[in-house]
Amino acid sequence: MIVLGVETSCDETSVAVLDGDGRVLSNVIASQMKAHAVYGGVVPEIAARAHLENLPSVFEDALATAGVALADVGLVAATAGPGLIGALLVGLSGARALAFARGVPLVGVNHLEGHLFSAHLSAGGQPAREIEYPFHGLVVSGGHAELVRVEEGCIVSLARTRDDAPGEAFDKVARRAGLPYPGGPVVDRIAARGDGGRFALPVGRAGDGSEDFSFSGLKTAMLKQFEKRGLDGSPLASENLPQELADLFASFQRAIVTALVQRVETVHRREGIRTLALSGGVAANSELRATLSRWGTENGVAVLLPEKSLTTDNAAMIAWAGLLRYRRDGAPALDSVVARSRWPLGT
Ligand code: KG4
Ligand code: ZN
């Protein structure tokens, strides 16, 4: 079975080809980062148009790199939500046309479900890791923060963000300091030479006894720190920041990582996590990866980290989640696969 995956939910146009064992034969990603960077965030209309422009060449590149013909494709899987509706429609419509023309099934994939299973994939041509249920998943990206329990055929949400997603907090705080977009990788690099223990910043809790995350208090605390230091959003050179600012960003990153790890710990005490799969763009963060791995070793939990190339949006994870769904549920009627801007995990 050759699976073709299509991802266009946000600002990455991606097409991937996988075989039936989950080997990634190709995973081509055209990033629109530069087009959006001048605005400090993703502009939906620009994203949709760029997907339309990029999709044909990304698609041909993915087939050529994988060395497969269109006639070999037995299943098409495309992100159907959640995401920017105009952006989603481009990839999903293309995928639907392809499935119709070739007479093969189409599966509409939940983007978050794609992230959730991405730690099981290898980017280097190895078959996917066998999935042992139940496992716990922590999806942390620019749009989402969610801790879930994954059982065979069922996803149970245990905690989610009440306001900003962690990636969003990285991006917004970096932007207000005058650092380039996206802020996550920039802060990650700055924090590497800072002292994360120097500033005490609020670690987000929803404050109602639930396990939900909240990052808005942390964001506000950071903005106050910037005001105090006269940072008004004028461009900052990230390579030679004063040590005090490097320490401030390191402390900010520490607060986000601490919030995430605390919740994992609470759920572990309650449900006894055996396997934790980390995923999403923020899963590329060095401190989060190191801290969770250490925690896993100390607590006898297998922590699965996605390869860095599979942390941000990509079609390989969509093809993989689509294949898993197809094996369990078969394919729905072509015209029942529709794009949805909102689509909570597990529904
Ligand atoms: O999963 P993704 O590509 O898109 C969404 O579905 O949101 O995640 C993008 C997010 C951005 O907010 C970016 O700043 C963040 O992931 N990110 C990071 C790192 N690399 C990307 N955040 C922290 N540390 C990183 N190294
Ligand atoms: Zn994503």
- Residue closest by Cα to atom 22 of ligand 1: 184
Percent of the chain whose pLDDT exceeds 70:
99
Q: Which of 28, 60, 19 is nearest to 323 (CA)?
A: 19
Ligand nearest the Cα of residue 188 is 1
Confidence of residue 39 (pLDDT cuts 50, 70, 90): confident
Give the model's pLDDT for residue 285: 98
Backbone angles phi, psi at 283, to 5 degrees: -65, -10
Tell me which residues have their CB within 5 A of the ion that is ligand 2. 141, 313
99-152 pLDDT, tens digit each: 999 999 999 999 999 999 999 999 989 999 999 999 999 999 998 999 999 999
Is ligand 1 within 6 A of the CB of residue 184? yes
Confidence of residue 332 (pLDDT cuts 50, 70, 90): very high
Predicted confidence (pLDDT) at residue 209 exceeds the cutoff of 80: no
- Residue closest by Cα to atom 20 of ligand 1: 185
Predicted confidence (pLDDT) at residue 196 exceeds the cutoff of 80: yes
Per-chain mean pLDDT for the chain: 95
- Residue closest by Cα to atom 24 of ligand 1: 285
Give the model's pLDDT for residue 207: 66
User: DSSP label at 284?
Assistant: G
Backbone angles phi, psi at 74, to 5 degrees: -105, -10
Ligand nearest the Cα of residue 165 is 1
Separation between Cα atoms, residue 27 and residue 309, nearest integer Å: 10
Question: What's the whole-number mean pLDDT along residues 151-162?
Answer: 93
Q: What is the pTM of this model?
A: 0.95
Predicted confidence (pLDDT) at residue 34 exceeds the cutoff of 90: no
Give the model's pLDDT for residue 41: 78
Mutate to test the pocket of ligand 1, among 9, 111, 170, 171 (most ligand atoms within 8 A of CB): 170
Ligand 2 centroid, distance to 146 Cα (angstroms): 12
Predicted confidence (pLDDT) at residue 228 exceeds the cutoff of 90: yes
Predicted confidence (pLDDT) at residue 30 exceeds the cutoff of 90: yes
Contact assessment for residue 142 and residue 167, using Cβ atoms and an 8 Å cutoff: yes
Q: What burial class does residue 103 get, using C-beta atoms within 10 Å of its C-beta: 0-12 exposed, 13-18 middle, 19+ buried?
A: exposed
Ligand 1 centroid, distance to 282 Cα (angstroms): 4
Give the model's pLDDT for residue 224: 97
Residues ≥6 apart with Cβ < 8 Å to 221: 201, 202
Predicted confidence (pLDDT) at residue 206 exceeds the cutoff of 70: no
Tell me if the bond preceding 182 is cis, omega within 30° of 0: yes
- Residue closest by Cα to atom 14 of ligand 1: 184
Q: What's the token pair of residue 97?
A: 């046309």
Give the model's pLDDT for residue 110: 97
Confidence of residue 255 (pLDDT cuts 50, 70, 90): very high
Predicted confidence (pLDDT) at residue 94 exceeds the cutoff of 80: yes
Percent of the chain whose pLDDT exceeds 90:
89
Confidence of residue 210 (pLDDT cuts 50, 70, 90): confident
- Which conformational region is residue 233 in: left (phi greater than 0), alpha (psi within -120 to 50 degrees), or beta? left
262-276 pLDDT, tens digit each: 999 999 999 999 999
Task: Return the HEC string of 61-91.
Answer: HHHHHHCCCHHHEEEEEEEEECCCHHHHHHH
Is ligand 1 within 6 A of the CB of residue 142? yes
Question: What's the whole-number mean pLDDT along residues 324-341?
Answer: 95
Ligand nearest the Cα of residue 41 is 1
